[in-house]
Amino acid sequence: MTPDPNNGRLLANRYQLVELVGKGAMGRVYQAKDMLLGGVTVAVKFLSQTLLNQKMRDRFEREATICAVLGEQSIHIVRVRDYGVDETEIPFYVMEFLQGDSLSDVLRDRPLSVPRFLNITRQICLGLQCAHQGILLDGELCPIIHRDIKPSNISIVQDTTLGELVKILDFGIAKLLQSDSSQTNSFMGTLAYCSPEQMEGRELNNRSDIYSLGVMMFEMLTGEMPLMAETHSFGGWYKAHHFVPPRTFESVNPDLKLPKALESLVLSCLAKAPSDRPQTAAQVLQALQPLEQRFGQGRQLGQRIGAVLSKLPVVAEPKPKHLPSADEVCRLTSWPKNKPIAEIVFPHLLRTSQESLATLWVMLHKQEIHNRVISTRYNQFLFLMSPHPMLLWITALYNRELGPRWLSCYLDLKTPMGQQMVRQLGESGCYRILFFALEEPPRCANVMTSTIAPLQRQMLQEWANTSQTLVSAAQPQMSKSLLKQEFEKLKPKILIKLESIQTSDYSSDISG
């Protein structure tokens, strides 16, 4: 076999290509090493040379932008980290490298058990819900429709904290639902999973993805397709999706015993008319919730307990499942692979099974983390409406012997991530500071909680609402520079306030 000439190639003086790991109609995907970050493994996707026209380049660039924003909003969508054009003018983008199996690989062995099906489907729906709710592009909220939901576009990876983590891949043929869109309605998708309206080339909304999800849900539970085309052609599948009723679960497998509510949900997603399907991913999640309570976590917990008890000589009453506290969840987190091992600060909305937590992630030397455990925590927020809505989130850790340690980051209030974080800070009234040691980077070394004063909370909510109606008049960097100048002016006043606090308990918590 002829070796791939790209193997070993250094792309953009940063990404060393290792091997080809996938290819499709839109392009080729390589495993690569990010040499700037010490060889961190990433995936690099190139646009297919057969698609090298300006329209497809624009589509590819839009795909990178969409995925970058969506990946920040949901852990169930693959994250994009970089975008560029190589020396031969072929566009590429860099995304997280997922070490796991595609759902299509999983289904080759056997259909899914009901508990596993519920867990995977819930995560897919959460990712779709995020995309369907839309992202802000040029100040406009644009819903994103995937248009190619199928098992090969679903990746299942093992996460040390969450267990099986599901991610949706390839929003490459997503279409922005913008009223002024001038794109053609040419057919794109995978025939067996296409909704009737997609095959007609009609304008699509989220209900088309729900139809594709229904096809996939049937396949996940039975290992079979709900519809069979007379011929594997556009005409054959057009007829199947429009006029052939989906097969029943009993006709596929008479021994398969499923809850009637689950069968009804799957078949409702497969309705020919969009109005007869669940109208949103949230409605599918709502229908899954009672089934998960019955078959999901409780059954999995029972199976684990049963396995343990079978090895014991005596029978003991199983203890109820302990739900970890917010601080315990924080301590179980790992330093992201896409972040450098360096003294940096960044915000992150940490989603748990019970709630969303506003968190500030900090990497310092181990000794400084130890020294800062006893500190006065101070926070303040500076907001700038113009030229671009931007918020500077300031945290100071003050110790009489060591002085202040300034932790600051920016939140762009024209992005969904910035909006969500600001609203969460205002609603919860607190945030966690997660410390990671440079010497031992993978695991969280310590967690602190910082509370936000009621007036600050109210202002955060008002700023989030105000920024939605504002129009950006310049690049975000200009607002960042202005806020940084204000911060430097403010530092001496904050220090005076911190030094004036006469208390023996340096672990107090104050807001500006």
Q: Which residues are annotated as a binding site for ATP?
A: 45
Of the candidates 148, 170, 209, 412, the residue annotated as catalytic is 148
Measured distance CA(378)–CA(128) in Å, rounded: 38
Quick check: is 412 catalytic?
no
- The DSSP line for 68-82 is HHHHHH-TTBPPEEE
Strands (E) across 116-267 are located at 135-137, 140-142, 144-145, 154-159, 163-168, 175-176
Contacts 24+ apart (CB under 8 A), 298-305: 299/115, 300/115
Specify the DSSP class assigned to residue 366: H
Measured distance CA(425)–CA(461) in Å, rounded: 9
Nearest 10 degrees: CA dihedral of 265, 270, 275, 279? 50
Measured distance CA(32)–CA(8) in Å, rounded: 9
Contact 174, 80 (CB under 8 A): no
Measured distance CA(406)–CA(401) in Å, rounded: 15
Measured distance CA(198)–CA(38) in Å, rounded: 44
Annotated binding site: 45
- The DSSP line for 277-308 is S-SSHHHHHHHHHHHHHHHSHHHHHHHHHHHH
Contact 114, 258 (CB under 8 A): yes
SS3 233: coil
As given in the structure block, the two tokens for residue 279 are 């109208």
Q: Which residues are catalytic?
A: 148
